């Protein structure tokens, strides 16, 4: 694909968007965030002046874009900020507007509490407070699969662990079974085993 259409959801500082544009000369990028102040900052920076990028205010749980508008939608390090209903909506909307939804977030594991003393040294109580809350809110693979099953859209979700400690999930819509032609009756029978 020479000119992939990429939607970055929850872009924050826009570092991923800049990385994509620098390494993929044909990519067309929409960087977005639900916070208008963040989008204003993005528009004033390099992404706002890049000929292959647009900066938009978009809610990842209710994307204002037509079906199939993008080849890839990406959400990084923000999944844990969403409530379960928001994750289900993200999965439904992300796979509606893009052929593939890629999610990268922290891997839910209690061993990460071992970094709390380092956070205390580097950032003090505020960093510890925010970090522990984020660790508690991370979604595990089972939760992502369960929420995908309840999101109201047929999809396939794959999750995997990536070092040093990330949950990577890819979601794609499954095609619904074809409608039978008018006048044709389709009967299904349970499999009863071999004929005797």
pLDDT tens for 15-69 read 999 999 999 999 999 999 999 999 999 999 999 999 999 999 999 999 999 999 9
- Average pLDDT of 156-166? 93
Q: What is the mean pLDDT of residues 102-130?
A: 76
Residue 96 backbone zone (phi > 0: left; psi -120 to 50: alpha; other: beta): alpha
Per-position DSSP letters for 39-107, written without gaps between them: HHHHHHSGGGG-TTEEEEE-BTTB--S-TT-EEEEEEES-GGGS-HHHHHHHHHHHHHHEEEEEEEEE-
Q: Which of 144, 11, 49, 48 is nearest to 90 (CA)?
A: 144
Provide the whole-model pTM: 0.83
User: How far is 57 from 46, CA to CA, in rounded Å?
Assistant: 17
In terms of C-beta density within 10 A (0-12 exposed, 13-18 middle, 19 or more buried), how is residue 98 classed?
A: buried
More confident: 141 or 109: 141
Neighbours of 158 (CB within 10 A): 12
Backbone angles phi, psi at 48, to 5 degrees: -70, -20
To the nearest whole number, what is the mean pLDDT of the chain? 87
Q: Which of 17, 33, 24 shows the shortest CA–CA distance to 2?
A: 24
- What is the average pLDDT across 11-15? 94
Res 196: pLDDT? 41
Query: Using CA atoms, how far apart are residues 93 and 107, in angstroms rounded to an integer?
Result: 23
């Amino acid at each position: 694909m020479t000119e992939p259409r990429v939607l970055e959801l929850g872009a924050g500082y826009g570092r991923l968007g800049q990385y994509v544009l620098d390494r993929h000369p044909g990519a067309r990028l929409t960087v977005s965030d639900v916070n208008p102040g963040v989008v204003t900052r993005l528009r004033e920076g390099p992404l706002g002046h890049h000929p292959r990028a647009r900066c938009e205010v978009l809610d990842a749980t209710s994307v204002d874009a037509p079906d199939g508008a993008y080849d890839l939608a990406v959400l990084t390090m923000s999944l844990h900020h969403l409530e379960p209903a928001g994750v289900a909506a993200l999965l439904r909307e992300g796979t509606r507007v893009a052929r593939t939804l890629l999610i990268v977030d922290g891997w839910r594991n209690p061993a990460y509490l071992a970094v709390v003393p380092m956070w205390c040294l580097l950032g003090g109580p505020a960093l510890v407070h925010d970090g522990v809350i984020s660790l508690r809110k991370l979604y595990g693979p089972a939760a992502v699969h369960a929420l995908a099953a309840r999101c109201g859209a047929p999809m396939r979700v794959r999750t995997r662990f990536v070092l040093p400690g990330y949950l990577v999930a890819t979601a794609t819509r499954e095609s619904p079974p074809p409608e039978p032609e008018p006048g044709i009756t389709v009967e299904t029978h349970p499999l009863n085993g071999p004929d005797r």
